[in-house]
């Protein structure tokens, strides 16, 4: 064994002490319950995949953003998953013929990016994904937006805190074409929009000129944008007259807005944010991002429709729509808004509040039965959940001090062993107490706690 | 985008379709509840650590068993965690002065080994760990064994299914010395015992002779072993007379057995299995493994006392005891014993049973309000858990067929929208139904489900 040294948490990763782990549990359980009540089923894949699963979708350029490795003496190259969609596509493609239509899947777990960590962006983070596969209808788009908003609302966020910015790549393309964009410049236009906010005015003009896009297109686009901004959240304002052009994609987007209105979700949404096109080329229709209202943080969530991707992974042609939400920005926003419960509250929710704190009165008879009482309280079997029981690890025999310890731990009951056969059960909330046979204490305490088997 | 191809799950890893994910959830929630009711707090660390965190404890030899990697253009070498103890030691060492004494921590999550997969052994698996830090007492040893047995019992396993094989490295060493083993051959003896079952009789003799250990030592040891086997699970039989030698380590082990008896746990235990020494050199006292009773599987769990390890990671001298349990062998044993609940039962436990299945009677008025009803049922906020509501994705308007779908999904209630303002709520278990205003349906259904806010 070597000499003692000190070790560091790897850059961009996190340690989870109990209070941190309870916050994590709070988020993952919120994700889980939002998914389940919106009728999504859980799936997952390995933490790493073969590298080619990522290059097929994103090209070789992604390799520098991945943690990739080989087994010692092995030949295959693997990579820690940077996102879940390729795994989802692989799972769907492998069993497509036997899966329900539509298939509604969620997952949550760690993802990895080999980047320089920044505010809101770590090398290891948690991500929640929901996807609807096999349903081309705009209702599937609305369902995906609904589960995302459902989570935000469940955590106490409101439309004043977060905005769901809706867009549609086909609509953006059609409008740009109507503004005079040449047919073959659509990709350049998406790239322009995707980076617009990060470039200076001069850089933006140079970007377009360099790609052979006339600045007149941009000017017409800006005028339209202004008109669209004035619509607010009134779906009736969203019509072909407003745009001064008749496009099928306008009607399709309007259909989505009407559905969201019927679900009561439109107040959360910016009806059309044409700056949102999502960088990834695999999106084929509706896209959206969720941002903190001031715009001061990175996106909380993002997603859209990707109708060609399952085929790319060897599956049948399958319309699909989904989104991902990370834990890092979400935590920042909740903390900023005072919506992250206190450490004490989270500890209780996590199950750390003891049901019973068992104390000996200091006699040898009581000392002798204490381990058996604690064990009997904790005992569990299928159909019989055990109780959370504790004893002091301290040396003191002072009953007052031990009751203080029970109170500090927020225990529901104290059980004071009075002899080898009788005990006082004290409700630490109401202060009421009752003397009883030790032989009855487990059954009685389950009754008090309303946790009979 | 390239041409379609088919992708494989990496060797030794698993995909988790919904039924698999529900089985995983069943185990992780069982681990969690056993931990909490035994007063352990959750912690976790990153999925990967710097490589030196693993070599400091296990030497450079471990590198070939790890998935290790560097960031593209980076200098540091990282490795996927093969076990949790180094991370635990790092976390404890970093905050030792501010942590409670004793500290009781649990964790659960994926671990990785770059080995050839075999039955019961995968490259990515889940592992549950519990540790007590800062408590040198045999009660801490007993507590660690208690939480492990608590989990087994909770899942329906009995002492006839699984055996907790207890041992103690100090006791094994002292007995071997009493059998004539030279002082400087203790490590050779541990190595002999650790591999004994995997070698042939001839290989075992050669192993000892090659290391300068007389076969007479082995013969005396075998005689003692026979005597120890006859003790059964009666702690009173475990005494210095039985061993024919007076050793402090015998008294210490007897103390542990008496504590386990007082907790009702001794029937689960083989009181002393001197073949169990745990390969890892960092164990310093009590060690144990849990095996399926027939001995036909790998160990379900293993652990022991490691009083020197925290120092090695830069922390203060800290007595510690803990264990790890993987999901792979545990799942095999549960399935073999018929103790893994059915897929349907697990789906219900996971929260996949709908509270309500909402159906339109086919009128335009009912169609129009259906999305709002589903959304209102699902609505959640802090302190207000949402309900799990579904609607059909099918084209059919046939109410009988839609009720069949609700029944097939095991929904608790069907809500049939009779118009834009009234609905029939049908309890699909009892068959009772009630006509009510749609405006009241959420409150009434929460009452029926006993889930008022």
CATH number at residue A404: 3.40.50.800
Closest partner CB to B156 (pick from A65, A379, A382) = A382
- Shared domain for B28 and B177, answered yes or no, is yes
Tell me which chain A residues have a C-beta less than 8 angstroms from the C-beta of B316. none
Contact flag A264-B375 (C-beta cutoff 8 Å): yes
pLDDT for res B5: 65
Q: What CATH number should be reported for the domain holding residue A309?
A: 3.30.930.10
Assess if residue A4 is contained within a domain.
Answer: no
Q: Give domain status of residue B2, yes or no.
A: no
Q: Please report whether residue A124 resides in a domain.
A: yes
Interface test with chain A among B34, B35, B47, by most A beta carbons within 10 Å = B47
Full DSSP string of B106-121: EEEEEEE--S--BTTB
Q: Could you tell me if A167 and A359 are in contact, meaning their C-beta atoms sit under 8 angstroms apart? A: no
Q: Identify the residue whose tokens are 């073999």.
A: B336
Looking at the structure, tell me whether residues A317 and A364 fall in a common domain.
no
Least confident stretch, A44-58, B20-34, B136-150, B224-238:
B224-238
What integer is the mean pLDDT of B217-233? Answer: 84
* Cβ neighbours, 10 Å, residue A54: 24
User: Shortest CA distance to B47 belongs to which of B19, B18, B67, B22?
Assistant: B67
What is the per-residue pLDDT for B1?
A: 41
Q: How many domains does chain A have?
A: 2
Cβ-in-10-Å burial (0-12, 13-18, 19+) of A276 comes to: buried
CA A302 to chain centre: 11
Interchain proximity B390–A39, CB inside 8 Å: yes
Is B4 within a domain?
Answer: no
Contact A304, A287 (CB under 8 A): yes
Looking at the structure, tell me whether residues B238 and B335 fall in a common domain: yes
Cβ–Cβ of A264/B2 closer than 8 Å?
A: no
Distance from CA of A139 to the nearest CA of B (A): 9
A82 interface with B at CB cutoff 8 Å? no
Q: Indicate whether B333 and B408 sit together in one domain.
A: no
Asked if residue A386 and residue A328 are part of one domain, the reply reads no
CB contacts of B67 in chain A (<8 Å) are 48, 69, 71, 78
> Smallest Cβ distance to B2: which of A42, A56, A387?
A56
Single residue among B343, B372, B402 that ends a domain in this structure: B343
User: How close does chain B come to A307, measured CA to CA in Å?
Assistant: 14
Sheet holding B433-437, edge to edge: B389-391, B356-360, B413-417, B422-427, B433-437
What string of pLDDT tens digits covers the 453 residues of chain A? 444 567 999 999 999 999 999 999 999 999 999 999 999 999 999 999 999 999 987 777 788 899 999 988 888 999 999 999 999 999 999 999 999 999 999 999 999 999 888 888 999 999 999 999 999 999 999 999 999 999 999 999 999 999 999 999 999 999 999 999 999 998 899 889 988 888 999 999 999 999 999 999 999 999 888 877 777 778 888 888 888 888 899 999 999 999 999 999 999 999 999 888 887 678 999 999 999 999 888 899 999 999 999 999 999 999 999 999 999 999 999 999 999 999 999 999 999 999 999 999 999 999 999 999 999 999 999 999 999 999 999 889 999 999 999 999 999 999 999 999 999 999 999 999 999 999 999 999 999 999 887
pLDDT tens digits, one per residue of B328-378: 999 999 999 999 999 999 999 999 999 999 999 999 999 999 999 999 999
Give the C-alpha separation, B224 to B229, whole Å: 9
Using CB atoms, pick whichever of A44, A64, A314 lies closest to residue B6: A314
User: Distance (Å) from the C-alpha of residue A369 to the closest C-alpha of chain B?
Assistant: 7
Selecting from B5, B10, B24 the residue whose C-beta is nearest the C-beta of A78 gives B10
Categorise residue B180: left if φ over 0, alpha if ψ from -120 to 50, beta otherwise.
Answer: left
Reported as a single tens digit per residue, the pLDDT across B388-422 is 999 998 889 999 999 999 999 999 999 999 999 99
A338, A395: one domain: no
* DSSP string covering B416-440: EE-SSSEEEEEETTT--EEEEEGGG
Give me the residues of B, 381-410, that contact A with CB < 8 A: 381-382, 385-390, 393
What's the average model confidence in pLDDT over B189-199? 89
Structure-token pair, residue A125: 């983070």
In this complex, is the C-beta atom of B126 within 8 Å of any C-beta atom belonging to chain A? no
The answer to whether residue B353 neighbours chain A at the CB level (below 8 Å) is no
* CB-based contact A16 B45, cutoff 8 Å: yes
* B74 contacts chain A (CB < 8 A): yes
Asked if residue B434 is part of any domain, the answer here is: yes
Question: Residue A381 is nearest to which of B2, B153, B379, comparing CB atoms?
Answer: B153
A413 lies in the same domain as A267:
no
CB atoms near residue A240 (< 10 Å): 13
Domain containing residue B400:
353-448
From chain A, the residues in CB contact with B49 under 8 A are 7, 10
Please tell me whether residues A79 and A130 are part of one structural domain.
yes
Query: Do residue B339 and residue A388 have CB atoms under 8 angstroms apart?
Result: no
Query: B205 and B295 share a domain?
Result: yes
Query: Does B37 map to a domain?
Result: yes
A389 contacts on B by Cβ (under 8 Å): 37, 39
Q: For the whole model, what pTM was predicted?
A: 0.95
Give the pLDDT of residue B280: 65
Rounded distance, CA A320 to CA A317, Å?
Answer: 10
Cβ distance A352 to B50 less than 8 Å, yes or no, reads no
Establish if B446 touches chain A: CB-CB under 8 angstroms.
no
pLDDT 10s digits, B1-16: 444 567 999 999 999 9
Same domain, yes or no: A189 and A212: yes
Picking from A322, A343, A364, the residue at the C-terminal end of a domain is A343
Chain A residues lying within 8 Å of B135, measured CB to CB: 393
Q: Which chain B residues contact residue A36 at CB under 8 A?
A: 350-352, 388
A110 and B47: CB-CB below 8 Å?
A: yes
Using an 8 Å CB-CB cutoff, list chain B residues near A13: 45-48
C-alpha to C-alpha distance for B435 and B17, rounded to whole angstroms: 39
Both A367 and A308 in one domain: the answer is no
Complex ipTM, two decimals? 0.95
Domain boundary among the residues B308, B343, B378 is at B343
In a domain, residue A5? The reply is no
Could B18 and A105 be called an inter-chain contact, meaning their C-beta atoms sit closer than 8 Å? yes
Residue B128, domain member (yes or no)? yes
Tell me, yes or no, whether B315 and B362 share the same domain.
no
Asked whether the beta carbons of B335 and B328 are under 8 A apart, the reply is no
């Amino acid at each position: 064994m070597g000499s003692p040294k000190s070790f560091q948490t790897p850059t961009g990763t996190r340690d989870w002490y109990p209070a941190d782990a309870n916050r994590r549990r709070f988020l993952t359980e919120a994700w889980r319950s939002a998914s389940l009540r919106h009728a999504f089923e859980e799936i997952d894949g390995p933490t790493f995949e073969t590298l080619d699963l990522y290059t097929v979708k994103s090209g070789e350029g992604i390799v520098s953003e991945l943690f990739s490795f080989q087994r010692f003496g092995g030949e295959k190259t693997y990579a820690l998953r940077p996102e879940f969609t390729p795994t989802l596509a692989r799972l769907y493609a492998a069993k497509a013929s036997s899966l329900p239509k539509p298939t509604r899947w969620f997952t949550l777990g760690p993802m990895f990016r080999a980047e320089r960590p920044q505010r809101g962006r770590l090398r290891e983070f948690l991500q929640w994904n929901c996807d609807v596969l096999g349903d081309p209808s705009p209702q599937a788009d609305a369902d995906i937006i609904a589960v995302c908003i459902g989570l935000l609302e469940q955590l106490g966020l409101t439309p004043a805190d977060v905005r769901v910015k809706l867009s549609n790549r086909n609509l953006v393309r059609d409008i740009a074409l109507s503004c005079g964009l040449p047919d073959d410049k659509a990709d350049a236009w998406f790239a322009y929009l995707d980076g617009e906010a990060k470039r200076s005015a001069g850089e933006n003009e140079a970007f377009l000129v360099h790609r052979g896009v006339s600045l007149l297109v941009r000017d017409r686009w800006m005028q339209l944008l202004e008109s669209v901004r004035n619509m607010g959240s009134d779906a009736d304002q969203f019509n072909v007259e407003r745009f001064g052009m008749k496009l099928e994609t306008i009607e399709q987007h309007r259909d989505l807005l009407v559905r969201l209105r019927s679900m009561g979700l439109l107040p959360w949404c910016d009806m059309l944010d044409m700056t949102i096109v999502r960088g990834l080329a695999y999106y084929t229709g509706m896209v959206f991002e969720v941002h903190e209202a001031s715009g001061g943080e990175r996106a909380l969530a993002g997603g859209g429709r990707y109708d060609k991707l399952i085929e790319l992974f060897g599956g049948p042609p399958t319309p699909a729509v989904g989104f991902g939400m990370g834990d890092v920005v979400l935590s920042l926003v909740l903390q900023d808004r005072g919506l992250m419960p206190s450490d004490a509250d989270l500890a209780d929710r996590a199950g750390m509040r003891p049901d019973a704190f068992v104390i000996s009165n200091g006699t040898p008879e009581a000392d002798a039965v204490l381990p058996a009482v604690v064990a009997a309280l904790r005992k569990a079997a299928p159909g019989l959940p055990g109780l959370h029981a504790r004893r002091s690890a301290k040396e003191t025999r002072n009953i007052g001090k031990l009751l203080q310890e029970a109170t500090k731990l927020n225990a529901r009951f104290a059980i004071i062993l009075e002899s080898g056969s009788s005990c006082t059960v004290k409700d630490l909330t109401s202060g009421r107490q009752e003397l009883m046979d030790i032989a009855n204490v487990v059954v009685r305490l389950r009754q008090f706690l309303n946790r009979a088997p």
